[in-house]
Structure 1
Amino acid sequence: MARSHSDASQRPTSGPAADITAPQPRSVAQETLVRFGIRSWALVGVLLLAVAAFFVMGQLRVVVVPLILALFPAAVLMPLNHWLQRHRLPPAAAAAILLIGTFAMVSGLISLLAPTVAAELDGLATSAQEGYEQVAAFLAEGPFGLEPILVEDLIERARAGLGQGDTNIGQRVFGVAGAVAEGLTGLVFGLFALFFYLKDGERIAGWLRDLFPRRVRGDVAAMSSRSWDTVGGYIRGQLFVAFIDAMFIGIGLFALRVPLAFPLAVLVFFGGLFPIVGAFASGTLAVLVALATQGVTKALIVLALVLLVQQIEGNLLQPIVLGKATALHPLAVIGSLTAGGLTLGILGAFLAVPVAASVARSVGYIREQRGAG
């Protein structure tokens, strides 16, 4: 036993024994794979939450959709609401004045513009169709030799599809009545929501902020403030830019004596509310009408006018009025318009870009905080 103990004491040691139970350090590739997996599962979770949110919105759309949509006019009107309150007007009175004034202004504009535009819609559609036929004939018979798109065939298919439901007229009538009732209910509820957003906006924002953990409330407040300012500023700025576009293009059409100049200017205004896509569509319509009624020379002049106004808008007006904070890549704009249009139709397409701009600003805030940290 003594010799064994002596041999053991003389045996060389190579250092402390390795602990096989300790976790081994990961390689760079493993760390990258783990981070990718975490982000992928996080993305899956976000998508599942989005699907669940859309499902809930679909089931409760009469309540949820007006609540969401009322946020946008509230964001536009909030600076004026604050101005009225600074001049010692009670919050309820300021909200009521803005609500009634906005409703009266929109109703008045519709009552003034609708009869004039509606009276000339048939002529506008006819002129646009004639202009399209001239372009199609040039493409088919000119040097290009292209097969034109048969719009008439698409129209006939749409009419045939509508005609298939003649046997279910009763169901269609009840469906229309239900849609009208749902729309009126949503409108009334949205007006009430807008009133309370203007009256108690800061209290509502504080209540929502307190739902988050205390450690992130400051970040939530900063991101929501940026998003709110972005949405309001974007819609106000886009309305102004669309008005300038419509004014200058309308003046140009009147000067060139292009028929239907007023309804074309109105369409240019509404088209200007949908960046890129709307301006392209309304400008194309103006060129087609000029081609059908005034010939190729006037159509080329109108095309040059539309391109000039759009260049001034994109390179001068938008950077000044909207600022770089709301600037989006054209691909992001088109993607947002498509997603909004598929989700909520024309209204969704109108609201999609300011929502995308507010999300971009929130992401920018997160990056700033990470860089500062």
Structure 2
Amino acid sequence: MSRFERLRGRLRRAYESGRDTVRAARSTPPDVPTPARAASPSEPGPVAPPAATVVGAEPPSPALHHSTSSRDDADVPHALRIAAAWSWRLIVVGVVFWALVKLVSTISIVIIPLAVAMLLSALLAPAVGWLLRARLPKSLATAVVLVAGLAAVVGTLTLVVNEFIKGVPELAAKSSQGLQQIQDWLKTGPLHLSDNDLDRYLEEAQQWVNNNTEQFTSGALSTATTLAEVLTGTILVLFAAFFFLRDGNMIWRFVVRLLPVAARWKVDDAGRASWATLVAYVRATVLVAFIDAVGIGIFLVIFDIPFAFPLAALVFLGAFIPIIGATLSGGVAVLVALVDSGPVTALIILGVVIGVQQVEGHILQPLIMGRAVAIHPLAVIIGLAAGVVLAGITGALVAVPLIAVLNTAVRRLAARTVPDTPPDAVVVASRAP
């Protein structure tokens, strides 16, 4: 018998032996105990069932949840763990936000002019684009647009001041007559105040003015001390607006290159979309403010209200603060109409202001601004309140554009679409090994 046949016989006998063992194990009833065998390294002894109690051994630790890392975490209720996780994360976010607010308030003398320059650049950017398409040099086109815009602002303010100076004497005389009419109404109206009551209220008002004279004086002094800051901020606005208009694309590309490569395209897409939103918002706001000023100014001229042009200019400037700006400036027009022409004309002007506001809110803004810069009114109110608290009138002016820009940026960053490949991008493909 050859060696191969002997090896084949051994393999067959081992296979038959294993098959007989399997058949015997299958035919053994469950209640028949298996004979004990001695444990050996090749055949270890029987393993205790999961429910068995081993004498002298420590009890097994309870199974941990996938969200826990120790028994201490497993003993804490799941809801409490989630609440604690949210709490410390919110605390960290709050601390970072507080530090950011403190930093902005510390360097507000720089942040506010830059924000105003950004708004001014968004307003004048289309005009610069027109001049560049007319093949003017970039620096010349930017300077022409900036100088023309500055001349328009200075000319408008000059006309407003001149109109105001001309009408002050007439308005002062009519104000005295209006105050006399108010006193007569307080006496003969539903309040039925006597001369003694009126004198007492006037004395209290005079006493209040005397007590607060020091505060008024200190406020005037502080205003005088901030004149240098205002001048510095104005110069910074002009220089920043010039370079934003001329080199804005270059500045943005430099900022994007500071980011990781994987995030550059996404951030660049969100930034350019946000800039388009800001341009659309500023242009739409200017158009809406112009319509408001013209609408209210026409009725002021029709009813021969003094300071018609200055009041229309005030409405135009106030319309840059959404919801409340044009309303407050229109309220000034109503007061002037009350003093000059009486309560009937004042009520008519009030109706005109309310009507213009309704047309603005329900027709002009949705039609002109569109969905790209649509913001919920609650977000507008909260943003205005926060802006007024943090930076006064400037904060109210910047708050809503900032919310619109952040809204667009967050939506673009959260979108799962891949931005289009830039036309100047160079794609290098590696060869397969």
State TM-score, norm by structure 1. 0.78
**What is residue 156 of structure 2 aligned with on the other side?**
109
The alignment partner of 1:5 has SS state of coil
2:401 aligned with 1:350:
no
Match of 2:66 in 1: 25
Q: Read off the aligned partner of 1:25 and give its amino acid letter.
A: H
* Secondary structure, aligned partner of 2:333: helix
Counterparts in 2 of 1:164 and 1:334: CA distance versus 1, 3 Å: closer
- Give the superposition deviation at 1:99: 1.8
Residue identity matched to 2:65:
Q
Q: Which residue of 2 aligns with 1:161?
A: 212
Alignment partner, residue 5 of structure 1: 39
> For each residue in 1:15-40, what CA deviation from the matched residue of structure 2 results, as whole angstroms up to 9, or x when unmatched?
9xxx969852249x977766665555
C-alpha spacing 1:159/1:329, structure 2 compared with 1 (3 Å) = farther
- The amino acid of 1:222's aligned partner reads D
Greater relative contact order (Cα < 8 A, sep 6+): 1
Deviation at 1:247, TM superposition (A): 0.7
2:278 maps to 1:231: yes
Q: 1:250 to 1:45 in 2, by over 3 A?
A: same
Partner SS state of residue 218, structure 1: helix
Deviations 1:143-201 (A, max 9, x none): xxxxxxx99978964663332687x89xx86x555422222222222211111111111
> Aligned match of 2:312 in 260, 265, 276?
265
- Greater share of residues in helix: 1
- Letter aligned with residue 280 of structure 1: T
What amino acid is aligned across from residue 151 of structure 2 in structure 1? A
**Rg comparison, structure with higher value:** 2
The match for 1:71 among 105, 109, 118 is 118
**Where does structure 2 lack aligned partners over 5 or more consecutive residues?**
1-35, 52-59, 69-75, 192-200, 420-433
Deviation at 1:355, TM superposition (A): 1.0
Equivalent-residue separation in structure 2 for 1:178 and 1:326 (angstroms)? 39
* Equivalent runs, 1:115-130 vs 2, <5 Å: 115-120=162-167, 123=171, 126=175, 130=179
Deviation at 1:291, TM superposition (A): 3.7
Distance 2:89 2:337 in 1: 53
Matches within 5 A, 1:272-287: 272-287=319-334
SS in 1 for 2:416: helix
Shift of 1:56: 3.4
Deviation, 1:338, is: 1.9
Taking a change above 3 Å as real, the CA distance of residues 255 and 218 of structure 1, as seen in their structure-2 partners, is same
Contact 1:256 1:298 in 2 (8 A): yes
Aligned partner of 1:141 among 190, 200, 212: 190
The Cα RMSD (Å) is: 4.1
Query: Hey, what's the Cα distance between the residues in 2 that align with 1:44 and 1:300?
Result: 51
What TM-score comes out, normalization by structure 2 length? Answer: 0.68
Uncovered stretches (5+) of structure 1, i.e. residues with no partner: 143-149
Displacement of 1:205 in angstroms is 0.3
